[in-house]
Structure 1
Amino acid sequence: MITRTRFFSVHLSRSARSGPPPDPPPPPAPSSGLWWQLIAVAVLLGGLVVALALQTPTSSTLSYSDFVDRVDAGTVEQVTIDDKGSVAGTLSDGTEFVTQLPTALDLAGLDNTLRAKQVRISAEQTDDSPWGAILFSMLPFVVFAGLLLWVGRRAQRAFSGGAGGIGGIGAFGRSKARVIEANRPTTRFADVAGYDGVKQEISEVVDFLRDPEKYAAAGAKGPRGVLMIGPPGTGKTLLARAVAGEAEVRFLSVTGSEFVEMFVGVGASRVRDLFEQARKSPPSIIFIDEIDAIGSKRGVGTYAGNDEREQTLNQLLAEMDGFDQSVGIVVLAATNRPEALDPALLRPGRFDRTVVIPLPTQSERAAILSVHLQGKHLGPDVDLSVLARATPGFSGADLANLVNEAAINAVRDDRTVICAEDLSSARDRLLLGRRESANALLPEERTSVAVHESGHALLAALCPHADPVAKVTILPAGMALGSTQQLPEVERHLYSEGYLNDLLTVRVGGR
């Protein structure tokens, strides 16, 4: 059995979105003074520790008996006695000492002995108020608490959008929507190739935002919400930006995952804040990308974040059902998993319209390729109609990736002109994988693969209903040792019995 890959239609499931995404806001610049502030706080704490250490008595402590013996021996030079009986003195060798006089004894004899030994005696009065000592002992704790408060505020400001953002716990529940003002969207329907039926259906939203009074005069209500459904990479986000560009209104873009946090109630607060921002400057468009992140069916699943997601969905349902249509707010949403959405979200009055954005047809693929090839140098052998035939099942994002791979192939050959071979190699790279020059077949293996692929090609040429052969190769690429590629002449939606029989014949012809 020879491992091979043949192509009649190609369906890719993952791709990037068509068109350029909204420009993200620039990240906040790191604060260079933060490190200096931390160093200053560390030095201050170190100084306090040193000061406390210096306040700790370093003198030796003598018992009263030792003190009396040293006085009798004449080794005490001077003493300082306070009103509480504490004695601090210096010996004749310079050593400092402290001791405590017993108040229950008669100290008259000690006084005479000190005078006889010519010890210098001085007295001092202590401060009876303990507040100074208490405040000084509490100073390190106050500084540490202030440091924790300062770090907490810095973290809150960073979490809510950088040093220049809105600080405090209140910012945690603020919406993270990216606001695009009316003069910023430059994408128009003309920039979206193909999808004429979709653009015609969604253009009524643009007309409603431009002139809502016309609908009110006729007693008609504009759509509250439009749900765009389609496979990944078909241009749902690009169409939403085109709606904003055509309507020339404020455009608030947010993804469904930005509503969900680990704290219950935060997502609902962000939904309220999002609609409040839209009400402040109508008319406006709210675009929620990947709405299935918060709009999934309620009561399904028992994970920890289920309550938070359901509260967020309930708040979204209340906002869409409650806002005034006269203010000119339309909600656009996009998803590629409509079966997971809650039925309450899809009922009329919330999402009134459901616009299906399928994979592009053959003519639409040719138009999309022409858009992505603008500004590039093409060789005279490039035929977009042939390339559109060779890419059934490709989304707009897949076609953009195909053009980019072809441009990379041209750069590898030190060329600036993209030729048909570059586009064909890029298509093989996306469908089959990278071609390994080291993956060489043995002579007998090459013969087996050649006979195998010749069977496919020969039967494809002989069968009257089979698609014509476009390319046969026995060069290994990816996991395929060879391939026979057929290009459909037209894009079929229904298949006749003769076509299916010839299809099976070609498939088993390699055996």
Structure 2
Amino acid sequence: MKRETGGQLLDRGTTRPGPPQAPPPRPPRWRVWLLLAGVLVAMALFFVPNPAAHHPESLTYSQLKTDIGAGQVASVALGQDGSVSGKLTNGTTFTSSYPVGLQDPQFTQLLDQHDVQVSTKPSGTPVWSLVLSFLPLLLIVALFLWTGRTARRQIGGLMGIGRSRGRLFDRERPSTTFADVAGYEGAKREVSEVVDFLKHPDRYRRAGAVGPKGVLMVGPPGTGKTLLARAVAGEASVPFISVTGSSFVEMFVGVGAARVRDLFEEARRQAPSIVFIDEIDALGQRRGGQLFANDERDQTLNQMLAEMDGFDPAGGVVVIAATNRPEVLDPALLRPGRFDRQVAIPLPAQREREAILVAHSRGKPLASGVDLNVVARGTPGFSGADLANLVNEAAIFAVRAGRDVIEALDFAEARDRILLGRRDGTNALLPEEKRAVAVHEAGHALVAALSPHADPVAKVTILPAGQALGVTEQLPVDERHLYSEGYLKDSLAVRMGGRAAERVVFGQVSSGAANDLAGATELATRMVREFGMSAALGPVGFTSGGPSYLGGLDTVRPYAEATQRVIDEEVGRLLREADERAVATLTDRRATLDRLTRVLLDRETIDGTDVDEAIRQT
């Protein structure tokens, strides 16, 4: 399959005008107080004297001449304005002045006679002294500008929280097409009208028809809903805006609604375009169904409903959404005019699984003995993502074995790795435990092979893998869509076969049948409560309250205690009948059971033909 290219953020450049921006917020009041404090500090630095500073001694002109004559002056600096400053021999600085207009020659002679160092003061104030005097004020102004810019960034971040998290993939249009989606021919036909509407809107307009506004794709996880949505955009050659439902809802009320508005404004600017909302159940859950109100979620959903209602039918914007939980969506979201049609994307059937395996195996070296039809038959219930993982795991097993070609054994090992877990060779069983596991699995296999409606046995192994000490695999010949009462009762007997074999051979049961009992109890409960296969309860059905595609526990019991008592009694009756049937079958075929147990202990893994051979020889 073609590799998906990465996405880029929505472009908000100058090529297209954006929506009118809100006026900038007023500056906070603390900025005014900060400026006032800075001015006060600057004034204090300029005009308030520093008591710690050392002030020079002030001398009169006569006293200055006397000190020079006494040899107490070390140096003087003369200014053109008559100012004099200098230092005495004891280190004290002084200031004085002399009459500029008198031209006193004795003053300069006196300086020469007593070897006083004479210098002249530069005219004006030095630049560096001005800079130093203004340095405190400059620092305060710089601090004020920095805090203001930081505050603007924070406010801008809060203002930008309402922008959509949608990502516009492939501005040159997605390259994925229906040819890249293996299988699902029915779903492709369902969404092909969306492609035709985006390509030829005039045809629909001339006929007075309105194209679909929204398509909701529902199905289990990993079935390729996102890939199919991208294929629709690729077939129509329009921009594809992808966003997840959880990216709308935040802790701030109103943020989600703003993001919805921004998303649809971008979609209208890119029209014709496709908006894909993945996991829409995070956004569109039924209102009023929660114990506590969620104003943010409700406002976001209301904005979503308003945006889809306000679509121009000829605008060329189609919303495609995907979810695993359609039963929790708000009815207003599912009505015609919003999501006009629902497309089910179920788990792939056998033919579709083979096509998906072919697509994922393309470019990988497969051995000549690999039959992908056999692999597809052995993977019922696998989604497209599971099959992709299966092919990758098979390639890993081939590399681990030092081969460059993937063989059929690698697919079998990969399937067991996915279903059962990693096989740990260090988890060795005790001899008596190994025999108990062999008896248990032989009982499953023998009851399955002798039941007329059960699926054929494909493989039996007593090698521990994951949490399972042994496994008996059954594979249907054809893909089933309906299950008869005879098939379900045979399935109960097969599940009870391992426990029954332990009781026939050892006279007691073990804890190894815990999973078998749990699965049999669940199946019997559905037979009684949902399928109406109980004469005591009658033709009634109580479906479970769990999600359709994700499973889950029952949260509401729509019947009384007396009905629950009848259900419990009927479930117990079905399980006892299945157990008695398995015990009777294995007792009659005790020799076959022992023979099959010996074959398992000897070879550890056998297939369905070995089971049939053991039945024929006894």
- Shared fold, TM over 0.5: yes
The question of 1:407 aligning with 2:395 is answered yes
Q: Distance in 2 between matches of 1:125 and 1:300?
A: 86
Q: Please state how far the C-alpha of 1:62 moved relative to its aligned partner.
A: 6.6
The Cα offsets for residues 118-163 of structure 1, whole Å up to 9 and x where unpaired, read as 8989999998xx997774312112333444566678x78xx9xxxx
Q: Which residue of 2 aligns with 1:500?
A: 488
Is the Cα–Cα contact under 8 Å of residues 281 and 328 in structure 2 kept in the other structure? yes
Q: Distance in 2 between matches of 1:122 and 1:181?
A: 76
Structure 1 counterpart of 2:225? 236
Which of 443, 448, 451 lines up with 2:431 in the alignment? 443
CA contact (8 A) 2:173 2:233 kept: no
Task: Give the superposition deviation at 1:424.
Answer: 0.8
**1:266 corresponding residue in structure 2:** 255
More helix as a share of residues:
2
RMSD of aligned residue pairs (Cα, Å):
4.2
Superposed, 1:176-325 pairs within 5 Å as 176-181=165-170, 183-299=172-288, 306-325=294-313
The answer to whether the Cα contact below 8 Å between 1:81 and 1:124 also exists between their aligned partners in 2 is no
Q: Which residue, out of 89, 111, 116, partners 1:92?
A: 89
Deviations along 1:339-358, one digit per CA (max 9) or x if unpaired, are: 33222222221111111211
Q: Which has the larger radius of gyration?
A: 2
Deviations along 1:205-232, one digit per CA (max 9) or x if unpaired, are 1111111222222222111111111111
Q: What whole-Å deviation, never above 9, does each CA across 1:377-427 have from its counterpart, x for those lacking one?
A: 222332222222221211110111111100111111122221111111111
Structure 1, gaps ≥5 residues long = 1-17, 27-51, 102-114, 160-166
How far off is 1:332 after superposition?
A: 0.7
**Alpha-carbon distance in structure 1 between the residues aligned to 2:72 and 2:287:** 91
Could you tell me whether the CA contact under 8 Å between 2:7 and 2:168 is conserved in 1? Answer: no
1:264-299 deviations in Å (ceiling 9; x for gaps): 433333322222222223211111112222222335
Which one-letter code corresponds to 1:442 in the other structure? L
Residue 422 of structure 2 aligns to which amino acid in structure 1?
R
Query: C-alpha displacement at 1:433, in angstroms?
Result: 0.6
SS at match of 2:74: strand
**Identity in percent:** 61
Asked whether the equivalents of residues 163 and 262 of structure 2 are also in contact (C-alpha less than 8 Å), the reply is yes
CA spacing shift, 1:76–1:269, aligned 2, 3 Å: farther
CA distance in 1, matches of 2:492, 2:56: 111
Partner of 2:54: 61
- Asked whether the equivalents of residues 60 and 98 of structure 1 are also in contact (C-alpha less than 8 Å), the reply is no
Q: Tell me the TM-score normalized by structure 2.
A: 0.62
Contact residue 57 and residue 93 of structure 2 kept, 8 A: no
Q: State the secondary structure of the residue aligned to 1:226.
A: strand
Shift of 1:88: 7.0
Deviations 1:86-107 (A, max 9, x none): 99753426x4x56899xxxxxx
Residue in structure 2 matching 1:510, options 491, 498, 508: 498
The alpha-carbon distance between structure 1 residues 287 and 385, as it changes in their structure 2 partners (threshold 3 A), is same
SS in 2 for 1:510: helix
- The alignment's TM-score, normalised by the length of structure 1, stands at 0.74
The yes-or-no answer on 1:398 pairing with 2:395 is: no
Written as runs of structure 1 = structure 2, the 5 A alignment for 1:41-190 is 61=54, 77-78=74-75, 89-92=86-89, 95=91, 135-148=134-147, 171-181=160-170, 183-190=172-179
Amino acid at match of 2:269: K
Match of 2:6 in 1: 23
Whole-angstrom CA distance in 1 between matches of 2:410 and 2:243 = 38
Name the amino acid aligned to 2:359. V
Q: Residue 98 and residue 227 in structure 1: after superposition, are their counterparts in 2 closer, same or farther (change >3 A)?
A: farther
Contact 1:298 1:342 in 2 (8 A): yes
The CA distance in 1 between the partners of 2:134 and 2:475, in whole Å, is 88
Gaps of 5+ in 2: 10-44, 97-109, 500-618
1:191 maps to amino acid = D
Q: CA contact under 8 A between 2:178 and 2:188: conserved in structure 1?
A: yes
Which residue is equivalent to 1:10? none
Structure 2 counterpart of 1:213, one-letter code: D
Contact kept, 8 Å, 1:178 with 1:253, in 2: the verdict is yes
Would the aligned equivalents of 1:189 and 1:239 in 2 still touch at CA under 8 Å? yes
Q: Say which SS state the counterpart of residue 470 (structure 1) adopts.
A: strand
